[in-house]
Amino acid sequence: MKVGQYIYTKLAATSAVTALVGNRIYPVFIAQEAALPAIAYTVENRPTDAMKDKKADHDTATVTFTFWADASQGADAYSALDSVDLAVRNALDFVTGTAGSVTVEACKYVGSIDGMDADSMTLSRTATYQFITRN
């Protein structure tokens, strides 16, 4: 499944997202020296026959986004997380269509949680979405 191609293409084409993070949209992790705020995303696609409720040319994926901000910016860092989270949610929640040669038939926001990495002095927000794509 190639939902990652859809995600990068869709977010990189969304001006509200790029105004906040530029092209700092990464699969799996961000480089240690990357400027913040930034976005990393991971894709989990492990349907079993018992779970599958669409035809063979459809897949369901859980995508976890982690939004990162520099904690040394204090309240501004948390504000940056809110802004990036909202921009991504506006770009993806209940979206349909094709981007990056991948067709999304449904996407929904599931929830989020805040976090902090004291070693790197970063704040994070992890948001989860469910996608149904057609291959």
> pTM for the full model?
0.89
In the chain, the amino acid numbered 105 is: E
pLDDT (tens, 9 = 90+) of the chain, 135 residues, equals 589 999 999 999 999 999 999 999 999 999 888 999 999 999 998 654 445 565 666 788 999 999 999 999 888 999 999 999 999 999 999 999 999 999 999 999 999 999 999 888 999 999 999 999 887
Q: Which residues of 95-131 are buried (b: 16+ CB within 10 A; e: fewer)?
A: beeebbebbbeebeeeebeeeeeeeeebbbbbbebeb
Phi, psi for 74 (deg, rounded to 5):
60, -130
Q: Is the preceding omega at residue 27 within 30 degrees of 0, hence cis?
A: no
Q: What is the C-alpha radius of gyration for the chain, rounded to an integer number of angstroms?
A: 15
Q: In what order do the strands lie in the sheet with 38-44?
A: 25-27, 38-44, 58-70, 122-134, 102-117, 97-99
